[in-house]
Structure formats: C-alpha cells, structure tokens
A and B are shown apart, each in its own frame.
Chain A
C-alpha cells in the first residue's frame, strides 16, 4: 500500500508492504541509495538515517511505523549545517577507503555533534561504535569528527 514519507524535507510516496524496512523503501522504492545494507540486524550501522534528528538503523524500522517522522538521509546532509561540516572534514581528510560505510558514519557523527558539539574520545567511542568500518578507517573517522567540531585532531 502507498505510504507518504517525509524524506529530506520532501513528501515522497512509496507503494510497499507495511513491513518493508525503511532501508528498502528508501533504496528500492524511492531510489535513495545513500543508506546502505550491510547486515540487516542493526549490527553494522551502514543504513543509519536520522528519524526526527535521532540516528536510527533503517533496516530495523518497518515503513508502516514511520508516520509523519522526519527522515533525513545522507542525501540531505548538504542542507544540514553540521552534516555539511562533517562532509567537508571527511573530504579534506580523505577519510574513506571503500566508502561503503561512510554515509552511515557521517549520519552518526552528525547526530553526535548536534548533541555534543565538542565530543571527547570516549564520547566519540560511545556514539560511533555501532558503525562498523570493514576497512578500519577509524583513525580518520575520529580525526574527521575532531576537525568538524573544531578540536585538535591528534
């Protein structure tokens, strides 16, 4: 059945079964492919989106439960004042290797900085340890968050 979702500030309608995880509604029905499938069990964080500003694993959210919540994906980060900074830091530091997990990393990092503008290493660990990077770019992810928050990187 059709569901109208608020994605990146736009009302988009997807005709999917209600139990379809938001991840697949975004990717296959709406063509928003920034959120990635990595595990399907909320263990890798590649599918992270913001639901009313909170970082959530979209593989675990049935589309029928989304309702009027504001969904923001990596595609919407350029219009997000903090997301934009995080993206810029990621580019300057060439954080990515394969890049597959990075949309999820950026979504989690942006949510962290929205709540905690100058996070400590421990706060970074806590906020980011749900996001796997199989290439293990963790040193640069940490540096990227520090740079985006105007802190010393080392």
Chain B
C-alpha cells in the first residue's frame, strides 16, 4: 500500500534564538508563514537548554492514546538525545504553526511519522554544522550520540547544550535532504516507553480539563432538553437563584445561527438553562429547582421500537438507493448451492468518556481564553467565534489532557456553551456536565439495520452477496457516521454483489465514535461471512482466507485492500490461538473475525464459555495486528490494542442507548453499563511486521472484537447473535 502525505504537511524549517538567548528554537512553520516578512511566533518543536535538557512540543491533543509521548519520541530519536533528558510541553491550539491538531482517525502516526523524524534530523544536522564550524572541520567527519556531537579523529566532543547558541548562525537544511537513521540504530523508537505524564497521573496531579482553576472562577451547569434541540418553554429561574451560592440563572435560546447541519461533527449551542454558582454543587442544587418545561419538538415521537419497525418495512420495499451493483446477484443467488438470509441490527451508543464534558472559559475585553479537553480545538474556536460573533484570532485555546475521547470531544458543544455562559456571567466559568448530561446529549454512534442474502457455490466460494442497509439520514446524505462506503468488504471479493440503502429521519445527533462505521459494520459483515462459512460446511478461518483470494491487493488508493496483509494476520492469529486444535469443553467455542480499518489489518480470535443460563464469559482474546514496519512505542501500542479489544467486547455485551419519546432512555452507568474488570479477559497481542509505513492504533483493534465474540458464541451454542447487545435470554439452553 502506498499513500502520500498531503502538501499541507510539508514544512519549511526556520530558526530563531529565544529572547533569553540561552535556548535555541528549531522551529517549523508552514511555507506560507515562512514567506511572511515578520515571522516571529515560530512553531518551536525543539528547544535545547545549556544544561542539555531538550524540550519537545507535543502538538496534538492527548486523550489517552499516548500521543504526547509517541510523537516527541520520533523527534528525539532523530535528534539523537537521551530520552531521560527530554521534557515535553503541550502545545496550545495554533493551526498556523502546527497545521491540524486533532485526535481522530488513528491518523497521528501516519501523518507525522516522516515529518517529525525529519524535524529531529534537521535539528541534529544543525548542531553538527555548528560544531563543525567551531572545530573548523568538515561536518561529514562528525557524528552524534547521547546529546553530543563527536569528532572521532580528533577525539573532541561537545554537548548539544553548549552548541545551541552557535546554531543561530547555522542555516537550516532542507528537511527533505536530511538522512534518517537506519531503524536498526533506534534507541527510543521501538522501545517501550511509559507515558510522559505517568507520575502525575498516579499521584493525582491536576492535568485534566476538570482540574482547571482560574482566579475568581465560578462554576456552571447547563440543562438542555432531553429531545435534541427543543427550546425552553419555562424555567423557575428565581427558585434556582434562591439556592445559597447560586449567582446567576438564565435561559439560553441557542445558537443564533442555527444548529450545526446534519452530517457535520458535533452540534452548535443548544437551547437550555444555565445556572452559575460559587461552587459546582451549589449550581447543581440550583438546577434541581428549575422545574424546566420544554417546548414541543417535531422529533419527540421517535423511538428505537419505531425505527426497528420502519426498517423492516423499508427492507421489504424498493430500496431508496443502490450504491453498488456488481454482476447479477439475483441470478447468482438462484444458482448458489447454499443460500443464507439474515437480518442484523445494532443499537445507538454514547461515547461516555470517564471525564464528563467540561470547559473553562474567560471572556475579557472582547477576547476569549479557553481551557478545554478537546480532540479538535480549532473547529471549537471557529464555532465559538461564529456563535459569539467574535474573531477567531481573539480566541486562545489551551489543550488540557482529556479523560478519554473516543470521538466525543471531536465536537465542541461544551466549549461553546462554556464560552457563552462565561460571557453572560461576566466572570471566568468552569462548565461541567453531569454524567446524565453526557449520556443524554451525546452525538451517538448510529444504530443500523442490515438485511443480508448470500450464496455459496459447491466449492465453498461466496458467489452472491446482497445487503439492504437501512440507516439514518436521507438520500442526499447519511447522518454523521451512519454511511457505508461502496468498497466495504467483501465488495470486490464477491463477483455478484449489491449494496442497497434506505434511510430514516432521525432527530438525535450522531457522530464518529472510536472506529466510526467500522465499529458496527465489522459485526454484521464478519458475522454474515461466518454464517456463510457454516452454510458451506467450511472451517471459518479457512473460509475467510479463501474469500480473500490470491491477489495481493484489490482496488486503488485510497480504497485499496491488501488481501495479503489480511491473510497474514489471519494465519498469525490462527497459530497464536491454536485454531482448530483446542479441545473445548461443552458450552465453549472459538470464533474468528478480521477487519481492515484506519489503515490497520487486524484478525482476532475469541474463546468463550456460555453457561446454560446464557451467561457469557470471554476466556481469552488473541489479536494479530499489522500496522506496518515499526511500532513506535510498544508500551502504548499494546495498551491501545488490548483496551480497544476489550471495549469492543463491552459494546457487544452491554452497551445500548434506546430512544423513546424522542429522548435517550439511559442516563448513567447504572442503566448504560460498561464492561468491568471481572469480565475482562486476557488479550494476547502479536504485531505482524510488514514492510509498509507505520499506521495508527487508536481504533483498528476494536471492530473485529465484536464478531470474534459473536462467532465464538455461535460455535459454543449454535445460536447466532444478530442483534446487539448480547442478552442472556438470547442464549438460554
């Protein structure tokens, strides 16, 4: 597989000496900025202090994916310094200097792997050139090690700290011209490195958005309608204000420009009632006195039961759209040796990161300063500017550590709420949502319905595949993260293949959640493939490999599917789990599934035991992962894969948001449970190394976990799970 980094990521290297004159900035700025005459606020990734301490800027939001550690590792490696001498600082949101700063799509590693190593290599070369100039020797005779430049023939060496100042006169080399290290020489990349903030995490130091405190800060809570977008009909503001410690209570009409259109990430400023107090507890108590009534809303009749019934009707009728139609599906189904028909469904999900949405905002002299746990700061700035009618350049955003993201913090609804409330309150305000606010005001992972027909021939080949997908949105556009691409596997691997799509209108907002699309599509597709394998009387793992065929790749970038890499991880996970060789007790089974998402090829095997009462116990998961030639930080990488795999099991076994009366029926971890440690199996992980550029790990381990589990349940019980979450009553003997 090949892909090119976009032009926006090409950088020109600039240098500057800091005001103190003691540290040197190896700065990187976009070409356009470099051409401005007055470039001064440079994007300094690297600073070298006289004592040899190297400070590296982490550009992207940290949400637990470990990026604050792994991106600086790339720079430090090529700079050739000791990791113990590296300090990391979190960048503010500054797209002119850093380009896009976001946590999403498992994109940070593929987007920065080349660029940030070159940042380090350029800095190293400048230090070499400075030393060579001082020694009056050819730079080619110099080498580096452990934060020093060495001239072997004369036995001289100088620390980076002592050379930093001299770099002011050294021209920065073209990043494309620098030679990068042979991976065999890596001392930092590829070494298990604990997260930079680990000591602060385990000692409870303030790190997160919820921990921010400003002088004179007030605390706010914000009540919104349970039906998305409904306006306030009445609220007893006086009752709220009568509570001790409440300073203000006021109605917010919502975004004067209207809500974010369907299909965009996140929502705008929703109507609601703000209560501001001296403490969050006082504000909350005030909120309890509001007795808010909400205006009628056109979507207040929607329900999950209604969606399911409507999906069935739509599936029986003519599809609204056919997005792919290869060969002759009808004819192939008629000619198939075996056919299978099955209807699948999956529910809405809320992201619910453990740190509830919060943001601190301070509005002063027409300027807004924000401290936010956000995955996507600049769109938050644009939203605040638009809603408050101020200039984006008058908004400063400090990115705090995020207590989980999972896509929820890609939308910045809580940021614009905090900004609006802070302006109204005339004081710095920390807005904190309750957990109930979070579960009822997610932009949900959309539910969906798939009506499959498939056929296999006498030789065990899949010859026909028909999916009528009933989803949300309309024919012009699916709701956010509710679509399915025309290259969804196994399209292109089945000669007669048809994707029909029908849509239902939806009031609640939807959006990307960890492995968007894939987190639902893997379950249905990989389950139905398993159904076809059993119909063909084939071993499910062998059937998957056969389906992938013998062509190494199918399609063109960016929709290329590397079948060879998928076969590689399937074979690996088969070996790891001793597939087909394990003698299983009664009520136990093993299932396999694979899935390609976010540039990663993953195959997983689940070993499950199902009790006669239908209780599911996952005994073990095996994961084979191909994300290319280099794992940047094995400590974080393993954690991501294990966590994502267990999260997938949590989706499958527990999580479901249902709607009734247009509102989410769940409100907290009591009725929206997550998997706990007593249900978490061991997860054995193997990274299959292949000669492709390194790609990300935030997401791709999650999708195949669900069908590996449900396929294992079928192997154990003969019962096919076609809707989630799995309930014991589905499996009672």
Taking the complex as formed, is A71 at the interface, i.e. its CB lies under 8 A from any CB of chain B? no
Q: In chain A, what residue has the closest Cβ to B211?
A: A33
Q: CB-CB < 8 A to B281: which residues of A?
A: 16-17, 20-21, 24, 28
Q: CB-CB < 8 A to B432: which residues of A?
A: 37
Contact A94 B639 (CB under 8 A): yes
Residue-wise interface mask of B (390-404) relative to A, using a CB-CB cutoff of 8 A (1 in contact, 0 not): 000000000001111
Taking the complex as formed, is B543 at the interface, i.e. its CB lies under 8 A from any CB of chain A? no
Contact partner of A140 (CB less than 8 A), chosen from B64, B356, B401, B639, is B639
Q: Which stretch, B168-176, B231-239, B675-683, touches the partner chain A?
A: B675-683
Q: Could you tell me the dominant secondary structure of chain A's interface residues? A: loop
Residue-wise interface mask of A (125-149) relative to B, using a CB-CB cutoff of 8 A (1 in contact, 0 not): 1101111111111111110000000
Taking the complex as formed, is A69 at the interface, i.e. its CB lies under 8 A from any CB of chain B? no
Could you tell me the distance between the alpha carbons of A74 and B650 in the complex, rounded to whole angstroms? 28
Taking the complex as formed, is B549 at the interface, i.e. its CB lies under 8 A from any CB of chain A? no
Could you tell me the distance between the alpha carbons of A97 and B644 in the complex, rounded to whole angstroms? 11
8 Å CB contacts to B: which residues of A96-154? 96-103, 106, 124-126, 128-142, 154
Taking the complex as formed, is B32 at the interface, i.e. its CB lies under 8 A from any CB of chain A? no
Contact B402 A124 (CB under 8 A): no
Distance (Å) between the CB of A23 and the closest chain B CB? 9
Q: CB-CB < 8 A to A100: which residues of B?
A: 64, 208, 353-355, 403-404
Q: CB-CB < 8 A to A53: which residues of B?
A: none
Taking the complex as formed, is A55 at the interface, i.e. its CB lies under 8 A from any CB of chain B? no
Contact B677 A37 (CB under 8 A): no
Contact B213 A98 (CB under 8 A): no
Taking the complex as formed, is A7 at the interface, i.e. its CB lies under 8 A from any CB of chain B? no
Q: In chain A, what residue has the closest Cβ to B648?
A: A136
Given that A33-B211, A37-B356, A43-B668 are known contacts, is A94 also in contact with B434, CB under 8 Å in the complex? no
Taking the complex as formed, is B203 at the interface, i.e. its CB lies under 8 A from any CB of chain A? yes
Contact B204 A96 (CB under 8 A): no
Could you tell me the distance between the alpha carbons of A75 and B205 in the complex, rounded to whole angstroms? 8
Could you tell me the distance between the alpha carbons of A79 and B454 in the complex, rounded to whole angstroms? 64
Residue-wise interface mask of B (339-382) relative to A, using a CB-CB cutoff of 8 A (1 in contact, 0 not): 00000000000001111100000000000000000000000000
Q: In chain A, what residue has the closest Cβ to B199?
A: A91
Contact B646 A138 (CB under 8 A): yes
Could you tell me the distance between the alpha carbons of A20 and B207 in the complex, rounded to whole angstroms? 24
Given that A37-B210, A103-B204, A135-B404 are known contacts, is A94 also in contact with B355, CB under 8 Å in the complex? no
Contact A40 B646 (CB under 8 A): no
Q: In chain B, what residue has the closest Cβ to A139?
A: B642
Q: In chain B, what residue has the closest Cβ to A130?
A: B676
Given that A28-B219, A44-B669, A138-B677 are known contacts, is A94 also in contact with B202, CB under 8 Å in the complex? no
Could you tell me the distance between the alpha carbons of A102 and B207 in the complex, rounded to whole angstroms? 13
Distance (Å) between the CB of A133 and the closest chain B CB? 8
8 Å CB contacts to A: which residues of B567-582? none
Contact A16 B204 (CB under 8 A): no
Contact A96 B678 (CB under 8 A): no
Taking the complex as formed, is B146 at the interface, i.e. its CB lies under 8 A from any CB of chain A? no
Contact B244 A17 (CB under 8 A): yes
Q: CB-CB < 8 A to A43: which residues of B?
A: 668-670
Taking the complex as formed, is B260 at the interface, i.e. its CB lies under 8 A from any CB of chain A? no
Q: In chain B, what residue has the closest Cβ to A63?
A: B281
Interface residue count on the B side (C-beta < 8 Å)? 65
Q: CB-CB < 8 A to A56: which residues of B?
A: none
Contact partner of B64 (CB less than 8 A), chosen from A40, A97, A154, is A97
Could you tell me the distance between the alpha carbons of A134 and B673 in the complex, rounded to whole angstroms? 11
Contact B210 A36 (CB under 8 A): yes
Contact A99 B403 (CB under 8 A): yes
Contact B677 A98 (CB under 8 A): no
Contact A98 B280 (CB under 8 A): no
Q: CB-CB < 8 A to A98: which residues of B?
A: 63-64, 353-355, 401-405
Q: CB-CB < 8 A to B640: which residues of A?
A: 97
Taking the complex as formed, is B530 at the interface, i.e. its CB lies under 8 A from any CB of chain A? no
Contact A137 B203 (CB under 8 A): no
Contact B435 A36 (CB under 8 A): no
Contact partner of B669 (CB less than 8 A), chosen from A39, A74, A78, is A39
Contact A28 B279 (CB under 8 A): yes
Contact B202 A91 (CB under 8 A): yes
Contact B204 A74 (CB under 8 A): yes
Q: Which stretch, B112-120, B190-198, B591-599, touches the partner chain A?
A: B190-198
Q: CB-CB < 8 A to B635: which residues of A?
A: 94
Q: CB-CB < 8 A to B639: which residues of A?
A: 94, 97, 135, 137, 140
Contact partner of B354 (CB less than 8 A), chosen from A24, A134, A138, is A134
Given that A33-B211, A36-B354, A136-B675 are known contacts, is A20 also in contact with B198, CB under 8 Å in the complex? no
Taking the complex as formed, is A12 at the interface, i.e. its CB lies under 8 A from any CB of chain B? no
Taking the complex as formed, is A41 at the interface, i.e. its CB lies under 8 A from any CB of chain B? yes
Distance (Å) between the CB of A86 and the closest chain B CB? 8
Distance (Å) between the CB of B536 and the closest chain A CB? 35
Could you tell me the distance between the alpha carbons of A21 and B279 in the complex, rounded to whole angstroms? 12
Taking the complex as formed, is B65 at the interface, i.e. its CB lies under 8 A from any CB of chain A? yes
Distance (Å) between the CB of B333 and the closest chain A CB? 40
Contact A99 B201 (CB under 8 A): yes
Q: CB-CB < 8 A to B650: which residues of A?
A: 136
Residue-wise interface mask of B (401-439) relative to A, using a CB-CB cutoff of 8 A (1 in contact, 0 not): 111111000000000000000000000000010110000
Contact A39 B668 (CB under 8 A): yes
Taking the complex as formed, is B564 at the interface, i.e. its CB lies under 8 A from any CB of chain A? no
Contact B677 A131 (CB under 8 A): yes
Taking the complex as formed, is B647 at the interface, i.e. its CB lies under 8 A from any CB of chain A? yes
Could you tell me the distance between the alpha carbons of A128 and B207 in the complex, rounded to whole angstroms? 24
Besides A94-B194, A100-B403, 13 more A-B contacts (Cβ < 8 Å) are A34-B203, A41-B435, A97-B64, A97-B66, A97-B640, A99-B195, A100-B353, A100-B355, A132-B354, A132-B674, A133-B677, A134-B354, A136-B644
The 10 lowest CB-CB distance pairs between A and B, nearest first, are A34-B204, A98-B64, A100-B403, A74-B204, A138-B680, A99-B201, A97-B64, A136-B646, A125-B678, A94-B194
Q: Which residues of B contact A (CB under 8 A)?
A: 63-66, 192-195, 197-199, 201-208, 210-211, 213, 219, 244-245, 279-282, 352-356, 401-406, 432, 434-435, 635-636, 639-640, 642-647, 650, 668-670, 674-678, 680, 682-683
